[in-house]
């Protein structure tokens, strides 16, 4: 099947009553670096233009908009439009009110960090087909909760690998409820208020399950268990001072990654990808490749931030430098190549799946995952409060 036919499939049905299946209608021209055969179809599915990044000076901030940031030279990505500022402002307002008033997520001295994370921009740009602010808030609360858990249990704000397994298990029961005897149930219920991550997990999950189907909720719980397993692997390596091989690090990152975010793209979009379609090995491969690529984006953009922090931080460039006996610059540039290979593999796999299983919900879900991948890059690239690039060019 040629590229034009694949693009037509991914655009979905047309005609009266089908416009809701095609929420993304961006018309930027396609100027991508040449991906593998069939890979351009996913970029076309979200209407995004692909590009190997420009390397000119960064324009100054204008009219209160975020600074464009500097994309990583040589990185394969698809530029996207800036998210709707009204939606961004409303999501930002609502998630901050939820964080402060409903779950007491952070103390006053962390307010600048919460604001600097720019959750509103992140979720609006990653879910351009969300039909309402309420739908966007489903993902925004969950991301705020998970980020708080990562900081408080694992990293920036007192996190430690010591005892992490116990903390994660108890927090996971806020997502996946404990079924126990009447004698011990009150103790568990009280524990859900014990710290900010558990309060946030419980509240965010309550909102999510009210809107999601049982299958969507269970899918999310499964992916959060995957995430927590990845946290435990990284913590075990930190405790034993083990330096993983590159392939081992990538295996850990397939679990400790963004997968719970794109996997709920249908819930946030207000529809459902049926469980049998989501469970297809081909769909699982697409979701895994997309999640792996977006996580390496995080490794690359957060590289200087992590090196400046105390302790030894694992990220792909660091592991490549340690295990393949190369300079920091060589390792970073190779990590860019790894990301690009993952992106091309994701796009090719998604295009093949779209061609072989052109179900409308399947096509819309694939477009949603592709939009999440592109939005994730956009947020990392433009979040100059958190990220800056190394001086390797």
pLDDT tens-digit series, residues 223-241: 999 999 999 999 999 999 9
Computed on alpha carbons and rounded to an integer, the radius of gyration of the chain in Å comes to: 21
pLDDT tens-digit series, residues 259-299: 999 999 999 999 999 999 999 999 999 999 999 999 999 99
pLDDT tens-digit series, residues 314-370: 999 999 999 999 999 999 999 999 999 999 999 999 999 999 999 999 999 999 999
Q: Assign 115 a pLDDT band (cuts: 50, 70, 90).
A: very high
Distant-in-sequence contacts of 34-38, Cβ < 8 A, 24+ apart: 35/76, 35/343, 35/344, 35/347, 35/348, 36/344, 36/345, 36/347, 36/348, 37/3, 37/348, 38/3, 38/6, 38/347, 38/348, 38/351, 38/352, 38/355
The yes-or-no verdict on residue 180 having pLDDT over 70 is yes
The yes-or-no verdict on residue 18 having pLDDT over 60 is no
* Percentage helix, strand, coil for the chain under 3-state DSSP, each rounded to 5: 60, 0, 35
Q: How many CA atoms lie within 13 A of 114 on its CB side?
A: 23
From the list 54, 93, 97, 110, the residue with the least C-alpha distance to 77 is 54
How is 119-182 classified by DSSP, letter by letter? Answer: HHHHHHHH-TT-SSHHHHHHHHHHHHHHHHHIIIIISTTT--STTHHHHHHHHHTTTS-----T
Q: Assign 55 a pLDDT band (cuts: 50, 70, 90).
A: very low
Q: With beta carbons less than 8 A apart as the criterion, state whether 78 and 40 touch.
A: no
- How far from 218 is each of 64, 138, 197, 327, CA to CA, in Å? 40, 15, 20, 44
Tokens 């969507």: give the residue.
Answer: 216
pTM: 0.85
From the list 1, 71, 62, 39, the residue with the least C-alpha distance to 301 is 71
Q: Assign 44 a pLDDT band (cuts: 50, 70, 90).
A: very low
Q: With beta carbons less than 8 A apart as the criterion, state whether 49 and 27 touch.
A: no
The yes-or-no verdict on residue 254 having pLDDT over 80 is yes
pLDDT of res. 309: 85
Work out the average pLDDT over 84-94.
98
H or E element that contains 77: strand 76-77
| Tokens found for residue 60 | 């100054």
Work out the average pLDDT over 36-40.
39
Angle, in degrees to the nearest 10, between helices 164-172 and 196-211: 30
Mean pLDDT of the chain: 86
In whole angstroms, what is the distance from residue 238 CA to residue 312 CA?
A: 8
């Amino acid at each position: 099947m040629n590229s034009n036919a694949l693009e037509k499939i991914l655009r979905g049905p047309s005609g009266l009553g089908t416009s809701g299946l095609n929420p993304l209608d961006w018309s930027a021209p396609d100027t991508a670096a040449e991906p593998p055969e069939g890979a351009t179809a996913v970029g076309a599915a979200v209407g995004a233009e692909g590009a190997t990044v420009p390397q000119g000076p960064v324009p100054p901030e204008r009219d209160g908009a975020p600074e464009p940031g500097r994309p990583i030279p040589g990185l394969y990505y698809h530029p996207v439009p800036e998210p709707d500022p009204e939606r961004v402002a409303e999501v930002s307002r609502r998630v901050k009110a939820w964080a402060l008033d409903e779950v007491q997520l952070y103390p006053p001295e962390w307010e600048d960090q919460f604001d600097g994370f720019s959750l509103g921009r992140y979720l609006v740009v990653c879910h351009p087909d969300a039909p309402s602010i309420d739908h966007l808030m489903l993902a925004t609360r969950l991301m705020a909760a998970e980020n708080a858990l990562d900081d408080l249990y694992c990293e920036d704000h007192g996190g430690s690998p010591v005892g992490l397994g116990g903390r994660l298990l108890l927090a996971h029961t806020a997502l996946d409820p404990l079924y126990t005897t009447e004698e011990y149930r009150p103790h568990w219920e009280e524990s859900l208020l014990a710290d900010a991550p558990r309060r946030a997990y419980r509240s965010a999950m309550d909102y999510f399950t009210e809107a999601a189907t049982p299958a969507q909720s269970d899918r999310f719980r499964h992916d959060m268990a995957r995430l927590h397993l990845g946290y435990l692997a990284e913590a075990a390596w930190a405790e034993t001072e083990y330096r993983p091989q590159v392939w081992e690090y990538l295996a850990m990152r397939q679990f400790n990654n963004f997968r719970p975010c794109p996997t709920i793209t249908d819930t946030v979009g207000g529809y459902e990808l049926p469980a049998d379609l989501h469970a297809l090995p081909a769909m699982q491969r697409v979701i895994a490749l997309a999640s792996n690529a977006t996580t390496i984006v995080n490794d690359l953009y957060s590289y200087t931030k992590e090196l400046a922090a105390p302790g030894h931080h694992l990220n792909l460039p660091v592991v490549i430098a340690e295990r393949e006996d190369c300079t920091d610059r060589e390792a970073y540039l190779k990590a860019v190549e790894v990301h690009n290979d993952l992106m091309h593999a994701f796009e090719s796999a998604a295009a093949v799946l779209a061609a072989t299983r052109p179900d409308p919900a399947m096509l819309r879900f694939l477009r949603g995952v592709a939009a999440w991948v592109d939005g994730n890059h956009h947020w990392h690239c433009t979040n100059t409060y958190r990220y800056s690039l190394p001086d390797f060019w």
